[in-house]
Structure 1
Amino acid sequence: MLMNAGSSIRNFLKSSDFLKSLLVTFGIVLPIIIGISLDMLPYFLSVAIGMFLTSSSDVPGSRRHKSIGILTATLIAMLATIVTTFAAANLYILLPIMAILVFAISFISVYGFRASLISFSGLLAIVLSFAHKQTGIDILIHTLLIGAGGLWSLLLSVSFHPLLQKRQINNGLTECLSLTAKYIRIRGKLAIENTNESNLKTELYDLQVKINDSHESLRELLLNERQTSGFSNFKRKQLLIFIELIDILELSLANPANYERINKIFEHHEKVTDPFIELVFELSNRLEQLALCMGKGKKLTPIKDLEPIINRCRLNIQDYIATVKLPQAREGALLLHNLLDYEEKQLQKIQSIERIYQDLESNRKSSLRNKEGQRFITHQDYDLNILRENFSFKSPIFKHSARLTIAMLVGFSIGIIFSIQNAYWILLTMVVIMRPGYTLTKERSKHRLYGTLIGAGIAAVIVLLTQNTYVYAMLSVISLMLALSFIQKNYRTSSIFITLSVIFIYALIKPDAFEVIEFRVLDTLTGALIAMLTISFLWPAWESSGIKSIIVQAIKANRNYLTEINNYYHHQKDNTTAYKLARKEAFLEMGNLNAAFQRMSQEPKSRQQNLGKIYEIVGLNHTFLAAVAALGTFILSNKNKTVSHSFELIIESIDTNLTQALQTAQNEELIDSIKEDKVAEAYGQLEEKYNELVAIRTQELEREENKPIDPGFRKNLQEARLISDQLKWLVTISGSLKKAVIEFEGKKS
C-alpha cells in the first residue's frame, strides 16, 4: 500500500501537469514578492493576474501554436478588462456591455479546444475586473500591466517549452502504453466472460475515447513541431513508438473479432483456447511493464519469455486436430492459426517498442515523412465563415454562449440586489463549470460543490489550529500549485485546492477567515444552482438531439475505412498513408460516438430517448470496426495478386448496407440493394475456392496420412477461410446496422 502511494507521488511529481503548475505558480508568485519588496504590490499584482489569466491557454502543442494562443489570450484579457472596468461606473451601460462581451468571447470556442481556453481567459478577465475595481488612469495602467503579465507568461512558456514538451511526450507515451495494455486485457476478458459482458463493453468504449484523446495529443506533439527542420533522433524514436502503438490498437481491436463464432466452434473444447487467452493477458502485462519502466525512466526489467506459451498454442492446435480429426477440425484449426498469427504480430510490435526504448534501433528511419505526417494532425480551420455558420440556435456553441450570457447577468444581478460580498465568485463558479452539454455541466457542478465543501472544511480546521500569516501564505501557494496540477485530470481535487488557496489568500487580507469560508460556500452554491437551472431550461443541449449526426459520421468513417482496405487489396502499393488516415478517422469517430452515448446515459431518464436502440447501434458500429480492422490487418500482411469478382460483389453489398443506413439517417431516398441471390452466388464462389484447396490437402493426406502441411499452402487456406468468414460477418453486421438505424428512425418519427 505504502509502496503504491509512494510510486503514485513520484509519478505525479514527474508529470508534465506538475511541472507546468510549478512554472505557472512561480510566474504568479514572483511578481507578488517583487511588489511586496518594492512596496508596489498593487501594480505587480496586476502582472500576476495577467500571468494567471493567460496561463490556461498554454496547452500542449507546437511552440508557434502556444505562442499565438498566449498572445491572443493576452489581447482578449486586456480588452475585456479595460472595457468592463470603464463600463462598471454606470450599471445601465455595464449590463449591455457585459452581455456583448460574454457572448462574443464565449462564442470564440467554435474554433476548437485551444480557442475555448483562450475564451476562458477572456471570461476570467471579465470576472476579475469586479474583484479589483480601478478608476481613472489606473484602469489603463492595470490593463497594460495585465498585458505585461501575458508577455511574462509567454516568456516562461517559450523558455521552458523544450523541457515541458519532452515531459509531455514521455508522459503521453506512458499513458498511451498503459491505456492500450488495459484495452488488450479487456478484449481478452470479453473472450472468456459472458456474465459481465455489458460492463466490459462499456469499459472498453470508455477506454477507446481515452486512447483516441491520447493519440490526438501525441500527434500534435510529435508531428507538428519544427516540421521544416525534421525530427531529432530522440523524437524519431518516440514517433516510432507511437506508430507501433496505433498498429497494436488496430490488432487488438481485430483480435479476436468474432467471439460468438469462437465460442460456438470450441464449445466442447474450451481448454484448447486457454493458452491463446493467456497470451493475450501476457501481452497486456508486457505493455504495462513497459509503461511502468518508461514512466520511471528506468531500464527495461527482465522480460518473461512468451515462447513457451506460443508453443503451447501450436501444440493445442495439433491436439485439437488429432482429437476432432480432419476435415471436421479444419475450420477451428484455421481460426486458431489466424488468432495465433495476430497475437504473434502483436508481440512483434511490442518487441519493436522495447528495442526502440532500449536504443537498439537508433539508425532506423521514421516511416512518416514530414509532409505526410502533417496529414495525420487534426488541423483547426480559423475561417471567419465558421463564425457565420454557427451564428444560429442550431449551433451548440451559440446556445452555450447565449445561455452563459444570461446566467452571468442573472448572477451579477443577484449579487447587486442582495449586496453579496465577493459576488464575483458567483460569476466565477458559472464560468468554470458551465459547458455546452448538460452532462459535463452537471459533472463539473458536483465536483465543484464537493471540492468547495471539502476545501472549506479543511481550511476551517487549519484556521482553528493556527493564526499564523506565514502559514497561510505558504499554504496558499502550495494549494494554488496543486490546484493547477489537477485541473485537467481531476477537477474535484483541483476544486479542493482552489478553495483552500482562495481562503488562505483572503485570510491574509481579512482577519475573519470564517466569514470568507461562509461566503465562498454560499457563492459557489448560488453559481452552481444558476448554472444547472440555465443548462436545464434555456435551450437545453440534450445528447439525444445531436447523436444522430455523430452516428452518421461514425458510419461514414467505417465505410471509408472499408473502401481504403478494398483499394489497397486491389492495388497493394507500398504507401499505406490513405489506409492509415481512414483508420485514424474511423477510430476517432467511433470514440466520439462512444463519448456521446456515455454522456446521454448520464442525462435525466426523461431525456434518454431510444437509449436501448442507440446502444445497439453503438455496439454494431464497434463490432463492424473490429471486423474491418481484422480484414485490414490480414490484407496488409498478405499480398494477393488477383481479386476475385465475388470479393468485389460482397464488398459492394456491405457498402450498400452502410449507404442505405446513412440514407435512412439523413432522410434520403434509398439506393437499390444487391440481389440476395447474387450475394449467395458470391459466397458460393468463395467457398468453392476454399473447398478446392481443401480437396488438394485431402488428396495429400490420402497419399500420406501424416504429411505436414506446407506453410505456404496453409497460408492460402487461412486466407481463403478468413476472408470468406470476415466478408460474411461484415455483410451480417452491416445488415444489422442498417436494420437498427431504420428502427431507430421509425421510433423517432
Structure 2
Amino acid sequence: MSAAFFSKVASFLRTESSLDALRNILTILLPSSLLFLFWDGHIAVAFAVGTLLASLTDLPGNKADKLTTAAYCIPIFFITSITSSLALHYDSWTIVLLLGIFGFVYTIIALLGFRINVVGNLGLIVASFTIGLRPEDPIQFSLSVTAGAIFFFIVCIAQVYLFPHRSLRYAVEGGISNMAKLIRLKVDCYDEDVPLNKTYKQLSALHARVSDQLESVRSILLRDKYLLAEGNAYSKRWLGKLYQLVDLYELLMAVDNDYETIRETLRGGKTLHTIRRSLAILAFETARLMQSNKEKTFRSIGTSELNRLFLQLEADQRQSSPEKAALIYSISAQLKQLSDILQNIHVSKFAADDSWIESKNFKDFVAPQSSFQTIVKNLNFRSPIFSYAVRMSILLISGGLIGYLLPEYRYASWILLTIILVARPSYTITQKRNYQRIVGSLIGIAISLLLLVFIKNTLVLLVIAALCLYLFLLFNKPNYLVCVIFITITILLGQKLHEGELHDILGSRFAFTLLGSIFAVLGCLAIPINHYRSVEQTTASLYKHFRDYLDKIQESYQTENLNHYDLRLLRKFTQASLAQSYDSLEQFAKEPLRGKAFKADIQHLQTLAYRINALLVGLSVNITKLGLDWNHDAMNSRVNYVQVLIEEAEELLKKLAQSKRTKDSNNVHFQPSK
C-alpha cells in the first residue's frame, strides 16, 4: 500500500507541471530575495508578484507558443498595473471604470485561444493585486511588476531553447497515460454486470480528455517548423509516436457492433472473460510505460500471458458459429494490433507506411488560429463569451464600487480576486469553485492562525510562506481546493509580516471572499449563458461530420481506393466535434433553471453520439488496418445501421428543441395569480 502511494507521488512529481512548479518557485524567490536584501523591499514584492503571475500564464507548448504568451502577457501586465496604480494614487473613481473595461476586454480575448484566455485572466488578477498592495509609487510598482514578468519569460524561453522537445515529450506521455485509463474503462464494456449507460457516459467524458491530449500533441509537433524540417533526425521519431497514438486511439474507440450486441452474441463460455483479461493486461502494461524511464517496454510475462489469451480466443473462434466466430476474430485482431502498437510505441525509429500524410498537409490537422475578426463577430448577446464578458465587467464594477466606498479600499481586492477566480460561464462550475474557495480559505485561515500564534520567529514564518507558495504552484492545476489552502497561508503570513495586524487580515480575507462568492453566483443568475445555442451549433456540426465520415468510408470500400489523408482528416474533425458536442450538452444539462428537465434526453444524445462514433471508427479501422475481408452485403448492413442511429440522434435533437420551445413558451406566458 505504502509502495503504491509513494509510486503515485513520485509519478506526480515527475509531471511537467510539477517540474514547472519547482522552476517557478526558484525563479520567484531567488531574484526577489536579492532585491529585498540589497535594494528595496517594495520593489522586491512587486517583482515577485509580476514573476508569480507571469508563471501562471505558462502552458505547455513550443517556442512560438511561449513567445506568443510573452507578447500578450508583458504589455497587459504593464498597462493594467500602471493604470490601476495611478488611479489608486490619485484616489480617482476611474479605478471602478477601469475594472469594468478590464473585465470585458480581458474576458472577450478568450476567443483568441485558451493561451490568451489564461493571460487575460491573470491580467485581471494583476488589477486585484495592485488594489491589495496599493503602491505608493505607481511608476516604480508597474515597472517592477513588468520586470518580473520579463524575467520569467527570459527563463522560460531559455528553457525552450535548451530543451526544445520537453513539452512534446510530456504531451506524448500524457497521451499514453490517458490511453491506459481508456483501456481500463473498456474492460467494463465486456462485463455483463456493468450497466452500459454508465460506461458510455464515462467513455464519453474520457474521450473528450483524450481528444484534447491528442490535439495538444498535434499542436506542439505539427506547428514546429524546425522539428519537421527535412533531414531532421527527430522528425520521423516524433511523427511516428503521433501516428502510434492516433492509431491506438482509433483501435480503442472502434467497435464492429454495439456492446449490447457483443455481450448478447458472446454470452456464455469464457470469451468475454478472456477479452476482459486481455484488456486488463494491456491497460496495466500501458500504465507501466509511464512509471520507468529506463525500460519502457512490455515485460516478457505480460507478453507471454497475452499470447496465451490470444490462443484461447482463436480456440473459441474455431468452436463457435460463423456469426460468433467473425465477431471473435474482429475483436482478437484489434487486441493484437493494440499489443503491437504498445510494444513499439517507444521504438526510436519508425518506418513510414502508406497511411502517413505528406508534410505539406500537416497544417490541415492543426486547429486554425483565431483572429481579432473573430472577436468582432462575437460582439452580440447571441455569443456566450460576449454575455460572459459583460457579466464579468458588471461584477468587477460592482465589487470595485463597494471597495471604493469602504475606508480601506485595498481589502476590496479579496472581493475582486474571488470574482475573477470563481465566476465561470457555467453555474455548476461557479458553485463548485465557490465551495472550493470558501472551504480552502477557511482551512488556510485556521492553519495561518495556528502558525502565527505558536511561531514568532520571522525567518521560520518566511520559510513556511515560501514552502506554501511552492505547494500552491504544485497544486494549482491538479487541485484548486488544495492550492487555495496554500495560497491563503502564503498571503496571510506575508501580510502579517509586512503589516502586523492579524485580526484585520483574517477578518477581511473571509468576509470579502464570501461577498465575492455571493456576487459570482448572483452574476450567473442575473446574466445566464444560453448553453442551448452552443448545443444546436455543435450537434449540427457533429452530425454533418458523421455523415461526411460515413460517406468517405463507404466510397473507400466500394472503390477499393483508400485515401488515408481524407479518412484521417475526417476522423480528426469528427473526434474534435464529438468532444465539443459532449461539452456543450454537459454544460446545458447543468443549467440551474432548466437543465435538469432535459437531463435524460441529453444523456441519451451523448450515448448515441458515442455509439455512432465508435461504429464509424470501427468501419474505418477494418478497411485500413485490420484488413478484414467483408462482402458488400455485410458492409452495407453496417453502414445502414449507422445511418439509422444518426437519424435517431437527429430526431432526438428535434424532440429536445421542441421540448425546450414548449417549456420556454410556458415560462413566458405564465402569470402568477393575483
TM-score, structure 1 length as denominator? 0.82
Deviation at 1:572, TM superposition (A): 5.3
1:612 paired with 2:600, answer yes
Deviation at 1:426, TM superposition (A): 1.2
2:461 corresponding residue in structure 1? 472
Once the two structures are superposed, residues 130-153 of structure 1 have per-residue CA deviations (whole angstroms, 9 ceiling, x without a partner) of: 133345xx3233323333222212
Does the CA contact (< 8 Å) of 2:177 and 2:287 recur in 1? Answer: yes
Deviation at 1:378, TM superposition (A): 1.2
Aligned with 1:744 (options 642, 656, 662): 656
2:580 corresponding residue in structure 1? 592
Structure 2: unaligned runs, 5 residues or longer? 662-674
Deviation at 1:232, TM superposition (A): 5.0
Deviation at 1:534, TM superposition (A): 0.7
Q: Distance in 2 between matches of 1:201 and 1:293?
A: 32
450-459 vs 385-394, which moves further: 450-459
User: Compared with structure 1, are the counterparts of its residues 606 and 397 closer, same or farther at alpha carbon in structure 2 (3 Å cutoff)?
Assistant: closer
Deviation at 1:370, TM superposition (A): 4.1
Counterpart amino acid of residue 412 in structure 1:
G
Q: Distance in 1 between matches of 2:562 and 2:378?
A: 41
Does the CA contact (< 8 Å) of 1:209 and 1:591 recur in 2? Answer: yes
89-98 vs 330-339, which moves further: 89-98
Structure 1: unaligned runs, 5 residues or longer? 321-328, 640-714
User: Compared with structure 1, are the counterparts of its residues 638 and 14 closer, same or farther at alpha carbon in structure 2 (3 Å cutoff)?
Assistant: closer
1:180 corresponding residue in structure 2? 179
- Over the residues paired in the alignment, what is the CA RMSD in angstroms? 2.6
Deviation at 1:78, TM superposition (A): 0.8
Aligned with 1:416 (options 401, 404, 411): 404
Once the two structures are superposed, residues 358-401 of structure 1 have per-residue CA deviations (whole angstroms, 9 ceiling, x without a partner) of: x4x3677994554333322213222x321211111111121111
Aligned with 1:438 (options 420, 424, 427): 427
Q: Distance in 1 between matches of 2:510 and 2:324?
A: 64
Counterpart amino acid of residue 520 in structure 1:
R
1:55 corresponding residue in structure 2? 55
1:455 corresponding residue in structure 2? 444
1:649 corresponding residue in structure 2? none
2:312 corresponding residue in structure 1? 312
2:638 corresponding residue in structure 1? 726
2:370 corresponding residue in structure 1? 381
1:104 corresponding residue in structure 2? 105
1:161 paired with 2:160, answer yes
Counterpart amino acid of residue 586 in structure 2:
Q
Q: Distance in 2 between matches of 1:80 and 1:573?
A: 58
Counterpart amino acid of residue 216 in structure 2:
S
Does the CA contact (< 8 Å) of 2:97 and 2:397 recur in 1? Answer: no
Q: Distance in 2 between matches of 1:368 and 1:48?
A: 47
Does the CA contact (< 8 Å) of 1:102 and 1:401 recur in 2? Answer: yes
1:15 corresponding residue in structure 2? 15
Q: Distance in 1 between matches of 2:350 and 2:613?
A: 34
Deviation at 1:175, TM superposition (A): 2.6
Q: Distance in 1 between matches of 2:23 and 2:142?
A: 23
> Which structure would you say has the larger RCO, counting Cα contacts within 8 Å and 6 or more residues apart?
2
Q: Distance in 2 between matches of 1:404 and 1:549?
A: 24
Q: Distance in 2 between matches of 1:370 and 1:162?
A: 24
1:497 corresponding residue in structure 2? 486
Deviation at 1:530, TM superposition (A): 0.8
Aligned with 2:415 (options 426, 439, 443): 426
Deviation at 1:720, TM superposition (A): 4.9
Counterpart amino acid of residue 142 in structure 1:
F
Q: Distance in 1 between matches of 2:177 and 2:86?
A: 52
2:379 corresponding residue in structure 1? 391
Deviation at 1:116, TM superposition (A): 0.5
Counterpart amino acid of residue 105 in structure 2:
A
Counterpart amino acid of residue 207 in structure 1:
L
Once the two structures are superposed, residues 100-149 of structure 1 have per-residue CA deviations (whole angstroms, 9 ceiling, x without a partner) of: 233222221121201111212321222222133345xx323332333322
Counterpart amino acid of residue 34 in structure 1:
L
Q: Distance in 1 between matches of 2:194 and 2:245?
A: 30
Does the CA contact (< 8 Å) of 1:55 and 1:70 recur in 2? Answer: no
Q: Distance in 2 between matches of 1:476 and 1:731?
A: 61
Deviation at 1:17, TM superposition (A): 0.9
1:28 paired with 2:25, answer no
Does the CA contact (< 8 Å) of 1:108 and 1:116 recur in 2? Answer: yes
1:662 corresponding residue in structure 2? none
2:270 is paired with a residue whose SS is: helix
1:60 is paired with a residue whose SS is: coil
1:211 corresponding residue in structure 2? 210
Does the CA contact (< 8 Å) of 1:71 and 1:151 recur in 2? Answer: no
1:160 is paired with a residue whose SS is: helix
User: Compared with structure 1, are the counterparts of its residues 585 and 275 closer, same or farther at alpha carbon in structure 2 (3 Å cutoff)?
Assistant: same
Q: Distance in 2 between matches of 1:196 and 1:571?
A: 40
Q: Distance in 1 between matches of 2:56 and 2:461?
A: 25
Does the CA contact (< 8 Å) of 1:16 and 1:164 recur in 2? Answer: no
Counterpart amino acid of residue 339 in structure 1:
I
2:502 corresponding residue in structure 1? 513
User: Compared with structure 1, are the counterparts of its residues 237 and 288 closer, same or farther at alpha carbon in structure 2 (3 Å cutoff)?
Assistant: same
Q: Larger Rg: 1 or 2?
A: 1
1:483 corresponding residue in structure 2? 472
620-629 vs 608-617, which moves further: 608-617
Q: Distance in 2 between matches of 1:297 and 1:465?
A: 49
Q: Distance in 2 between matches of 1:488 and 1:232?
A: 34
Once the two structures are superposed, residues 623-676 of structure 1 have per-residue CA deviations (whole angstroms, 9 ceiling, x without a partner) of: 11111111111121377xxxxxxxxxxxxxxxxxxxxxxxxxxxxxxxxxxxxx
1:131 is paired with a residue whose SS is: helix
TM-score, structure 2 length as denominator? 0.90
1:344 paired with 2:336, answer yes
Q: Distance in 2 between matches of 1:381 and 1:558?
A: 25
1:436 is paired with a residue whose SS is: coil
Once the two structures are superposed, residues 242-301 of structure 1 have per-residue CA deviations (whole angstroms, 9 ceiling, x without a partner) of: 32122122112113542222333344x34344323332332222322223335x776654
Deviation at 1:499, TM superposition (A): 0.9
Counterpart amino acid of residue 621 in structure 1:
A
Q: Distance in 2 between matches of 1:231 and 1:599?
A: 46
Does the CA contact (< 8 Å) of 2:106 and 2:117 recur in 1? Answer: no
Counterpart amino acid of residue 196 in structure 1:
P
User: Compared with structure 1, are the counterparts of its residues 638 and 411 closer, same or farther at alpha carbon in structure 2 (3 Å cutoff)?
Assistant: closer
Q: Distance in 1 between matches of 2:631 and 2:337?
A: 16
